[in-house]
Amino acid sequence: MIREIVVPKDLWPRRGDWRGKIINIYVSEGDKVSSGDQLFEIEIEKAVLVIESEHNGVIKKILVEPGDDVRPGDPVMIIETSDD
């Protein structure tokens, strides 16, 4: 099954027009990942958080680059999952 990996909406403690910044991407297109593997870092307000995979699968497409601004719910990458 094809799924989008998105910026988690629960990272933002308050409502409003919040943005984050992609700091680092730990995977490349074609990489196999397992649940719990680190995918990317995002900076929000005064914190840098590492987002981990919730699925086993293969990274099909990366939609952002380090330095890109993102909002909650924005797609970051596409994964073809193998755990469905």
Q: Is the pTM of this model over 0.75?
A: yes
Q: What b/e sequence results for 54-66 when a residue is b if at least 16 CB atoms lie within 10 Å of its CB, and e otherwise?
A: ebbbebeebebee
Report the domain count for the chain: 1
φ, ψ of residue 2 in degrees (nearest 5) = -90, 130
Task: List the domain range (segments joined by +) for residue 40.
Answer: 2-81
φ, ψ of residue 6 in degrees (nearest 5) = -120, 165
Q: What is the CATH number of the domain that holds 50?
A: 2.40.50.100
The span from the CA of 33 to the CA of 15, in Å, is 32
5-52: pLDDT as tens digits: 999 887 666 666 678 999 999 999 999 999 999 999 999 877 899 999
Return the closest-CA partner of residue 66 out of 22, 17, 3: 22
